[in-house]
Amino acid sequence: MSVRDIARIAVFAALTAAMGLVGSITLVGGVPITLQSLGVMLAGAVLGPWRGAVSMGLLIFGVAIGLPLLAGGRGGLGVFVSPTAGYLIGYVVAPVVIGLIVGHRPTWLRVGLGCLIGGIFSIYLFGIPMQAWLTELSIGESLIKSFVFLPGDLTKMVVATLITMALYRAYPRSSEPEKRQREVAVSH
């Protein structure tokens, strides 16, 4: 991993943490609606699967050691036994799914699909069962209660796609594999 990779990983972890500072709204089931899942989507789409997962792992590590990086200034081990615990696990898995779908040359379709499948469904896949278990609701009840998050998450999917494609158009070489970037740099 290069210094550039480490810097990008840290920037996306910090960006996602900062998105929690905007505030949150808790409607049902003790899980807040925040902008942080937008950061997760961007990490997977822009950094790729492994760097994106490492950036979210860094965020979760910061939360675990007590840094107030989640919406509402939450942090510490207590969040891992709260209704949000499964969603936090999904934060680390989602960039892998998104990055694998997006690949090295983002297209509108692949970024949108990656954010939908990875940034929404994979986070829900971990979040809803854990929320159900910790709130003592059935999976079906938790699933129905989670529908309140869907409009906002779909909006974040669109925003993540727009930002990713704008970044790719502005900096197309940033999405190329590292080996190809080195080859291009050497040839110039």
Domains of the chain: 3-187 (1.10.1760.20)
Dump pLDDT digits (tens) for 153-188.
999 999 999 999 999 988 876 655 444 444 444 544
Residues with Cβ < 8 Å from 50, sequence gap 6 or more? 96, 99
Dump pLDDT digits (tens) for 54-101.
999 999 999 999 999 998 788 999 999 998 899 999 999 999 999 999
DSSP-based three-state secondary structure for 134 = helix
Angle at the Cα of 134 from the Cα atoms of 128 and 139, rounded to 5 degrees: 40
Beta strands in 15-169 (DSSP E): 25-26, 32-33
Q: Which amino acid is at 25?
A: I
Q: Which amino acid is at 155?
A: T
Q: What is the pLDDT of residue 30?
A: 52
Q: Which residue is associated with the tokens 């779909």?
A: 154
**Cα–Cα distance between 136 and 132 in angstroms, integer?**
6
Structure tokens at 32: 């807040």
Structure tokens at 40: 């997760």
